Amino acid sequence: MNITHIGGPTTLLELDGVRLLVDPTFDAPGRRYSFGWGTSSRKTAGPALAVADLGRIDAVLLTHDQHADNLDDAGRALLSTVPRVITTPAGARRLGASGLRPWESTKVGDVEITATPSRHGPAWAVPIVGPTTGFALRASSETVWISGDTVVFPGVLKVADRFDVDIAVLHLGKVQFGRTGRPGSP
């Protein structure tokens, strides 16, 4: 298995000959992305690998499509060049992709992909910020869990009940919302 961190949430995973790209973000640094309600984030670093240098991609795993810090303009353009995109059911409707609800599974090559619970914040915020998903990837040799953008809540804790995770890829970002009084700048 190989894991290449490209930047932000963007990661290339190679398991049992299957190449999976998580949350493609390839825009140049400096770009500001609006999330509505007076909130935004600014991209501070560019990708460690250019789209042209990715090689073959068998599928994109997209934790959510509604925020540009997980799917920016360059990443969105990339989607039409890959054979399969797997995301939330809501994202699948918008993108013409494959959608999985939590605990539903599909396969890409010999890798079983299971959607896992994920949530940006409190349950009441989901209608505002939209749904997210994580992914558990089971290959012949190990299980990899991709957290997606999530807080700790009972759903995410159930991942450990269902999978013996060998490797965890955690989305640990620093999106800051100045209007909420959280540390950092807007």
Q: What is the DSSP letter of 169?
A: E
Burial class (CB in 10 A: 0-12, 13-18, 19+), 36: exposed
Does residue 30 belong to any structural domain of this protein?
A: yes
Place of tokens 């299957």: 18
Tokens at residue 149, please? Answer: 């953008």
Q: Which domain holds residue 109?
A: 2-180
Domain count, the chain: 1
Lookup result for tokens 């605990």:
103
CATH at 146? 3.60.15.10
At residue 181, the pLDDT reads 44
- Residue 70 CB coordination number (10 Å): 24
Beta strands at 18-22 and 10-15: parallel, antiparallel or unpaired? antiparallel
Q: Is residue 185 part of a domain?
A: no
pLDDT tens digits, 76-98:
999 999 999 999 999 999 999 99
In our burial notation (b when 16+ CB lie closer than 10 A, e otherwise), range 99-108 reads bbebeeeeeb
pLDDT tens profile 9-44: 999 999 999 999 999 999 999 888 777 666 777 888
Question: For residue 177, what pLDDT is reported?
Answer: 54
